[in-house]
Structure 1
Amino acid sequence: MSRHKSFTVKSLLIIQLFVVLFTGSCAKKGFVTESVRPELYDIKSELPASTHKRNPTFLVYGDHRPSWRVQEGFLDKRNWSRKRLFLFPVFLPVLLFNAIFGGTAYLRHVPDLGSEMRRKVLNQIYDEVRKGDIDFIAHTGDIVENGTYHTQWEDFLIEAVVEKPVMKLVPYYPAPGNHERHNEQVYGRHNYDTVFPNSRFYTKKFKDVILIFLDSGLIFDPKGDFSSLTVQDSLYRKYLVSGPDSKKSSWLEEQLASAQEKYKIILIHHPLFSYGKHSRDWDETLGMNLEQKRRELTQLFMEYNVQLIIAGHEHYYEHNVLNYLKEGKNYNMHILVTGGGGTPVRPLISFSKVDKWLDMDMHYGYEVDMVNRAEEYHYCIVSVSENGINIEVIKVDDGEIENKIILDEFLVQ
């Protein structure tokens, strides 16, 4: 099977090189400010001061980026299972289509998958915002497939500013994802800061809740955007957790220590605990001392009684609860993973493997309960009151708000 696939891949690469030559030029990296109309990104949308004096209702979603047909189709290992290979003649036309046209799009740096569901999600969000009950939108990252390409930012802005202008109706607050490439020093940082100025580490405060937005790119660096792991680690110490030998608190430690609000919500792209494709990211070599950093962040959040972490990265919905004991009292921290914003959702991992990972986390000292999960496109509506944080998870099917289905609903206190 491996030799068959290897020969097929090599043959198709040769075909794709000819297709690229005869179908058009490749997308190029570039600056948003040089290639995108300013009216698309120069949007100064901020909440009125009166809103900060009360508790908000906001909409949150994540993983809205387009994807690659060749990755989700041809290179998906499920398509190369023994069962599929036995029926190879049946699947051959689909595989060839995904390989040739999807591979060509990949070589040209033009994402070619996910447009339909991304637009349906955005259409339903737009209708939700137009009802007038949403104060702002929060995003858990992966807005574009590769933030070094100005054309991808332009596509996103046309969708969110022109076609379904949610960014003109309410403020739009992101936590950067790894696909934004915002730590790439030439194009990535420039483009992200142009579209979302001052949006890597920041807070939004209201009557009973503080929202703290974090850049988990200081932990994970899969593309090698930092000049060295040492530079990345020093920034982690400056902004996230200072470490026992530091004489100065980190930015995050200062925000948590000074927070007077009853509820604390963290928004970050990479979840501390999830049980999908990226469950073991904290064990891998995508950064320096990852398991240690997860423990440091978890302990910091427990120290200051953070009630809710909202993350993305996994392309589906998941709700986990971390239980812990502090000063003789039982506490829990909710981890909401909302990654169904339009990027192709991923299949759920088997319960047997999830149980194995839960046992592994228990071995590390984390008592995590998986409460719910769903392989669905969705967004969440978060309503804060003095009695708690209510989360409503809305399924997106046909993109019509009249047909919306509630996937899950729970209260955080």
Structure 2
Amino acid sequence: MFKLSFIMAAILCSSALSANEPVVYKDALYQQQKIARLTTLPNSLNFMVIGDWGHNGHFYQKEVAHQLEIAMYQTDADFIVSTGDNFYPNGVASVNDPLWQSAFENIYHGPHTFEDWYVVLGNHDYLGNAQAQIDYTAKSQRWQLPARYYSKTFALENNEHVLMVFLDTNPIQPEYKTREKYRSTQGQSYQTQLDWLETQLAGSNAKWKIVVGHHPLYSSGKRFGRNQGLRDILEPILERHNVHAYIAGHEHDLQYNQPKNSKVAHFVSGGGSEARFVKQREFTRYAEATPGFLSISINGETLTMSAINHLGEVRFNTEKHLDK
């Protein structure tokens, strides 16, 4: 019964969007479609996390984009994080590839999704021209991918800060070293990136430290059991420098994983257009095979995460305190 209701609701949502395209966003629409149970912290930095979205409008990409716009308005969010696999199946060919319009600009066209997008590269992005996605930063006002890896510090109240480090996990991923399909990921020294990561984390006095990469270190989804190699490389660095959260995509679902004896929260947001199966594991706090995205709110003491599906439902809420 739940599955049937879910399908019918998705069909109705999809039909409504199709019938009214292009959607005209007005104040009345935001109020009518307000997302219940979606809140923010006082004096907070607010942002959305979406990944694995670039399916040229297919699957549930348009529905997720619509709810992303509603959530951005409702939370007065500051920016959007993209966890990679920005264009399927094979990235983009150039900064003038038509996919920029059909899979990005024309999909995320609401006024509140025209905030900054802080982007990382996924494995599918490397099957095309990864450099073109970096170069698009100079062409777009909102697309922020200045280099294959970079960092950004955001201000909170009382002169406190959030450090966000955006990684390119593709050259670090051990299994790609022997896969012909991903040879293009190996044209750079991953050790140079790891040294840079250590420097960024060690040199920051930010109250919160968050690292973003495409590949998860823990997964309750399709790739459960296949993350150990990357985890062995990155997890000791995250633990050593008291990173509070690691955010990834790659898995086409929404997850929150919390390994035992670790203070690092592991969030996965890869449901930007389609969904794959998940299963409860020993470290799973939440995992759902649903299209959607995450909403994150941070202030001086607390981080909250809400998982939102393509129907505008908050499916899960959690909070993390700075000292826990």
Same fold (TM over 0.5): yes
Structure-2 residue corresponding to 1:159: 106
Structure-1 residue corresponding to 2:267: 336
Pick from 276, 294, 299 the counterpart of residue 346 of structure 1.
276
Distance 1:335 1:228 in 2: 24
Report deviation, 1:195.
2.1
Q: 1:303 to 1:254 in 2, by over 3 A?
A: same
Pick from 130, 138, 146 the counterpart of residue 198 of structure 1.
146
Structure-2 residue corresponding to 1:128: 71
Distance 1:379 1:297 in 2: 24
SS of structure 2 residue aligned to 1:335 = strand
Report deviation, 1:396.
1.7
| Aligned CA-pair RMSD | 2.4
Report deviation, 1:227.
6.1
Structure-1 residue corresponding to 2:308: 394
SS of structure 1 residue aligned to 2:163 = strand
Structure-2 residue corresponding to 1:382: 296
Q: Percent same amino acid at aligned positions?
A: 27
Distance 2:184 2:48 in 1: 36
Q: 1:119 to 1:219 in 2, by over 3 A?
A: same
Paired letter, 1:202: Y
SS of structure 1 residue aligned to 2:70 = helix
Distance 1:159 1:123 in 2: 12
Give unpaired runs (5+ residues) of structure 1.
Answer: 1-53, 67-110, 241-249, 284-290, 325-330, 359-368, 398-403
Pick from 36, 61, 84 the counterpart of residue 141 of structure 1.
84
Q: 1:271 to 1:116 in 2, by over 3 A?
A: closer
Deviations 1:62-105 (A, max 9, x none): 11021xxxxxxxxxxxxxxxxxxxxxxxxxxxxxxxxxxxxxxx
Structure-2 residue corresponding to 1:58: 47
SS of structure 2 residue aligned to 1:323 = coil
SS of structure 2 residue aligned to 1:332 = coil
Distance 2:147 2:206 in 1: 21
* TM-score, normalisation: structure 1: 0.58
Tell me, yes or no, if the aligned pair for 2:210 and 2:247 is still in contact at 8 Å.
yes
Report deviation, 1:340.
1.1
Structure-2 residue corresponding to 1:400: none
Paired letter, 2:66: N
SS of structure 2 residue aligned to 1:144 = coil
Deviations 1:238-289 (A, max 9, x none): 002xxxxxxxxx1101001011012111111100111221223336xxxxxx
The alignment status of 1:407 with 2:315, answered yes or no, reads yes
Report deviation, 1:412.
1.5
Report deviation, 1:141.
0.9
Q: 1:259 to 1:224 in 2, by over 3 A?
A: same
Report deviation, 1:132.
6.4
SS of structure 1 residue aligned to 2:263 = strand
Deviations 1:289-347 (A, max 9, x none): xx2x42131111101111111111111111111233xxxxxx421101111111x2012
* TM-score, normalisation: structure 2: 0.73
SS of structure 2 residue aligned to 1:218 = coil
How many residues end up aligned between the 2 structures? 259
Distance 2:107 2:147 in 1: 18
Q: How does 1:32-43 map to 2 (within 5 A)?
A: none
Structure-2 residue corresponding to 1:362: none
Distance 1:127 1:408 in 2: 17
Pick from 274, 277, 290 the counterpart of residue 222 of structure 2.
277
The alignment status of 1:302 with 2:242, answered yes or no, reads no
Deviations 1:147-174 (A, max 9, x none): 144232332233246x43555x311111
Tell me, yes or no, if the aligned pair for 1:147 and 1:153 is still in contact at 8 Å.
no
Larger Rg, first or second structure (1 or 2): 1
Deviations 1:14-38 (A, max 9, x none): xxxxxxxxxxxxxxxxxxxxxxxxx
Structure-2 residue corresponding to 1:371: 285
Structure-2 residue corresponding to 1:38: none
Give unpaired runs (5+ residues) of structure 2.
Answer: 1-42, 138-144, 155-159
Distance 1:153 1:408 in 2: 32
